[in-house]
Amino acid sequence: MNQDFEQAKQQFVEGLRCFEAGRYEQADEHFRSSLALLPGRPSTLTNLAATRLKLQRPQEALEIVEQALAAAPDDVDAWALRGMALVALQRQGDALEAFDRALAIDPSLAPAWSNRGAILKDMHRIPEAIVSFEKAIALGADPEVNGWLLASLTGARAPVVAPSRYVERLFDDYADSFDDHLVSVLRYQAHVALVAGLPHIAGRRHARALDLGCGTGLCGPLLQPLAGRIDGVDLSGRMLDKARTRGVYDELAQADVVQYLQSTAGRYDLVVAADVFIYIGDLDAVFAGVHRVMDAGVFCFSVEALDDGRDFALRSSQRYAHSEGYLRALAKRHGFDVAQVLQRTLREDQREPITGLLVYLTIG
């Protein structure tokens, strides 16, 4: 029995090491081996559940964490994990109950307050969401990310760009289901409409295209008939892994789009950004960067439309919207000519159409 315990402990420790290193498949194997030697151990079950979440298997994570809670009903980590699994399964009400249960056990659990705020925001319970984000920050949760989420609800002291950690984590977690959710659920069509307008602007095949914020590469196959070479850049490594499987990109870089534009040696005659600037409010550095990598060609992009007199604004959806006047002023400042601005429905949000602008600029 002691030998089984020691072997189970070694497997558990190795599982933790693999988890921390991001080797989730290996972590899963070690935790399962540990449980085979020492069945029903709550701490091993919760770590296995956390691993299944990282592997994008939330239903399995939920089933495992419920085994842990059956053995240890007051395990605060298990309740928090249950909430995270339920969020991934889009069971928001049940997830809220799980986070509330975790906070009843330990009110100082900052991540639970943050997750609670996100759920309440989606449920349109804005005052409660604000309180949750404020508590999360007070208890030590990431001030940049939670401050940005809070600003999206209050409008106060809104940063001019989404935190890179937030965007990278969001899309790393979203990578496996991104295409299906975006196209089938949100009825996303900005990439198709944006690329469809290009032949009318340039009237020729481009030598080298850059897909800014390329994500899983939805634009790549659409750009292939229009460009001899296509490069892509995105913050999310997991999204880039998906884009790589399409086989249409010559080079893919994991980087912040502004930093890439400021440092790359590449030259382009087509730069495309579909549904990217919803995470960047102040676009001045983007325009400067695109100007840097282009001698002549087309810069086209989509934005959510703003018509309240402001240049740009962070909305409660955690997305930025931009005014046409602001975009035209930026184009003039950075040496671009406005070829065309079209108003289109970009996608749906909770079954409401989101109106956006398709903008085509030329230079040289």
CATH number where 206 lies: 3.40.50.150
Is there a single domain that holds both residue 294 and residue 317? yes
The CB density around residue 228, as the number of other CB atoms within 10 Å, is 12
Q: Is residue 32 part of a domain?
A: yes
Is there a single domain that holds both residue 151 and residue 191? no
According to the model, what pLDDT value does residue 95 have? 97
Is there a single domain that holds both residue 146 and residue 269? no
Domain final residue pick, 159, 190, 208: 159
According to the model, what pLDDT value does residue 304 have? 95
According to the model, what pLDDT value does residue 200 have? 85
Is there a single domain that holds both residue 288 and residue 248? yes
Number of domains in the chain: 2
Which residue type is seen at 118?
A
Tally helices (H) and strands (E) across the chain.
18, 9
Domain final residue pick, 159, 191, 217: 159
Is there a single domain that holds both residue 71 and residue 137? yes
> What are the percentages of helix, strand and coil residues in the chain, rounded to 5?
55, 20, 25
Is there a single domain that holds both residue 84 and residue 126? yes
Is there a single domain that holds both residue 178 and residue 312? yes
According to the model, what pLDDT value does residue 137 have? 96
According to the model, what pLDDT value does residue 181 have? 53
Q: Is residue 81 part of a domain?
A: yes
Is there a single domain that holds both residue 216 and residue 345? yes
Q: Is residue 232 part of a domain?
A: yes
* Distance separating alpha carbons of residues 118 and 126, to the nearest angstrom: 10
CATH code of the domain containing 102: 1.25.40.10
* Distance separating alpha carbons of residues 97 and 292, to the nearest angstrom: 51
Domain final residue pick, 159, 191, 224: 159
The CB density around residue 87, as the number of other CB atoms within 10 Å, is 21
Is there a single domain that holds both residue 97 and residue 235? no
Q: Which of 134, 195, 141 is nearest to 165 (CA)?
A: 141
Q: Is residue 261 part of a domain?
A: yes
Is there a single domain that holds both residue 154 and residue 28? yes
Each of the 364 residues of the chain gets a pLDDT tens digit; together they read 578 889 999 999 999 999 999 999 999 999 999 999 999 999 999 999 999 999 989 999 999 999 999 999 999 999 999 999 999 998 999 999 999 999 999 999 999 999 999 999 989 999 999 999 999 999 999 999 999 999 999 988 788 888 888 887 776 666 565 546 555 545 667 888 899 999 888 778 999 999 999 998 999 999 999 999 999 999 988 889 999 999 999 999 999 999 999 999 999 999 999 999 999 999 999 999 999 999 899 999 999 999 999 999 999 888 999 999 999 999 999 999 999 999 988 876 666 788 899 999 999 8
Q: Which residue has the tokens 């040696």?
A: 265
* Distance separating alpha carbons of residues 228 and 362, to the nearest angstrom: 19
Q: Is residue 340 part of a domain?
A: yes
Q: Is residue 227 part of a domain?
A: yes
Q: Is residue 164 part of a domain?
A: no
According to the model, what pLDDT value does residue 190 have? 80
Is there a single domain that holds both residue 257 and residue 334? yes
According to the model, what pLDDT value does residue 168 have? 76
Parallel/antiparallel/unpaired status of strands 312-314 and 320-322: antiparallel
Is there a single domain that holds both residue 173 and residue 146? no
> Which structural domain range is residue 244 located in?
169-363
- Half-sphere exposure at residue 5, Cβ-oriented, CA atoms within 13 angstroms: 2
